[in-house]
Amino acid sequence: MINMRSLLMVSSLIVALYSGANAQDWRKISPMISTRAEVETLLGPAEGAFAAIYKLKEGSLFIEYSSGPCRPERKGGWNVPENVVVLVSFSPKNEPRIASLRLDLKKFRKVIDRHVIGIIYYINDEEGVTYQVQGGRVDTIEYGPAKKYQHLYCGDPADQKAPPR
């Protein structure tokens, strides 16, 4: 007969193997659509109330979740249920050259960081994608709410148009 401790150890091993095998599946996570439960099915549970960090073989993945619908005492955030993904940020270990991604840069606005020399942002508001580039290499790719979700922003929509720090 299997005791509870053995069952727990086997279950933990299965979860660890499953989450490692599906680490590349993080690309299926969509802001404003995916939920924490779906993320944890793909990548395993993570600590943190409204954010999670996953160390993957190919880089680091940060996921931010909604703290719930708009409220009078809160500015910012999104008018979606609690634990809906609002931001996915990926920092690759092997930073690709921006040119190797073959992006149609006409679809992006270029913003030069005024506070940190050498950082350039390529922002596609329509799709909600931002590439942070330094020295021609992509440091971070952020996937946030696409333009079609702007009506769900809690606060002044002009705040969403401000260039990154």
Give the mean pLDDT of 51-70.
Answer: 95
Surface-to-core class of residue 71, CB atoms within 10 Å of its CB (0-12 exposed, 13-18 middle, 19+ buried): exposed
The Cβ of residue 33 has, within 10 Å, a number of other Cβ atoms equal to 12
Can you give the residue range of the structural domain that contains 75? 4-161
Element (H, E) at 11: helix 4-21
pTM, entire model: 0.79
Q: Which two tokens stand for residue 51?
A: 């954010």
CA gap 108, 159 in Å, rounded: 19
Q: Give the number of domains in the chain.
A: 1
Query: Is residue 147 a contact partner of residue 126, using CB atoms and an 8 Å limit?
Result: yes
pLDDT digits (tens, 9 = 90+) for 131-153: 999 999 999 999 999 999 999 99
The predicted-structure confidence for 16-60, as pLDDT tens digits, reads as follows 333 443 455 788 999 999 999 999 999 999 988 899 999 999 999
128: left (phi over 0), alpha (psi -120 to 50) or beta: left
97-132 pLDDT per residue, tens? 999 999 999 999 999 999 999 999 999 999 999 999
DSSP string covering 121-154, please? EEEETTTTEEEEEETTEEEEEEE---GGGGGGBS
